[in-house]
Amino acid sequence: MTVAEEREDAIGAPGSDRAPLARGAGVGRAGLAHGALRERWFACSNALGWSVASEWPDPTVDEVCDVILSGRAGPPLERALTRWAGARAAAGIGLDETLSDLAALHTAVSGALGHLGERRRLGLPGAEGSRLVRVVSLGWTDVACGDLSEAAALDPLSGLASSRYLRTRLAEVYRAARAHGGSVGDAHALVVVTLRVAGWSRVAPLTVAGDAAAVVFDAGETIAVVGRSTVVVLAPREGLAARVRVLRGLLARRLSGASGVTGAPSARIVALPSSLEAADETLARLREAEPAAPRRDRILGFDVPVIAPEDGPDEADQ
- Concatenating the DSSP letter of every residue in 118-151 gives S------SHHHHHHHHHHHHHHHHHHHTHHHHHH
For residue 232, list its beta bridge partners.
192, 224
pLDDT at 48: 87
| Cβ within 8 Å of residue 192, ≥6 positions away | 230, 231, 232, 267, 268, 269, 270, 286, 315
Q: Where are the domains of the chain?
A: 3-144, 152-288
The amino acid at 175: R
**CB within 8 Å of 266: residues ≥ 6 apart:** 193, 194, 248, 314
* pLDDT value, residue 318: 52
152-288 falls under which CATH superfamily? Reverse transcriptase/Diguanylate cyclase domain (3.30.70.270)
Q: Name the phi and psi angles at 160, rounded to 5.
A: -85, 170
List residues bridging with 268 in a β-sheet. Answer: 192
Strands 230-236 and 266-271: unpaired
Pick from 8, 91, 2, 81: nearest CA to 43: 2
Q: By C-alpha distance, which of 140, 141, 247 is closest to 195?
A: 247
The string of DSSP letters for 262-282 reads -S--EEEEEE--SSHHHHHHH
DSSP letter at 54 equals G
Query: What are the helix (H) ranges across 13-125?
Result: 18-24, 29-47, 59-70, 75-90, 95-111
b or e along 137-151 (b: 16 or more beta carbons within 10 Å of the residue's beta carbon)?
A: ebbbebbbeeeebee
**Residue-level pLDDT, tens digit, the chain, 318 residues:** 333 343 334 333 333 333 222 323 335 666 777 888 889 899 999 988 898 888 999 999 999 988 888 877 667 777 889 999 999 988 889 999 999 999 888 888 876 545 444 444 454 444 456 777 888 998 898 787 765 555 567 776 677 888 889 999 999 999 999 999 999 999 999 999 998 876 555 667 888 899 999 999 999 999 999 877 899 999 999 999 999 999 999 999 988 877 667 778 899 999 999 999 999 999 989 988 876 554 433 333 433 333 333 334 344 445
Rg (CA), the chain: 24
Check the CA dihedral 173-179-182-183 and report its sign: positive
Q: What pLDDT is recorded for position 28?
A: 65
pLDDT of residue 77: 76
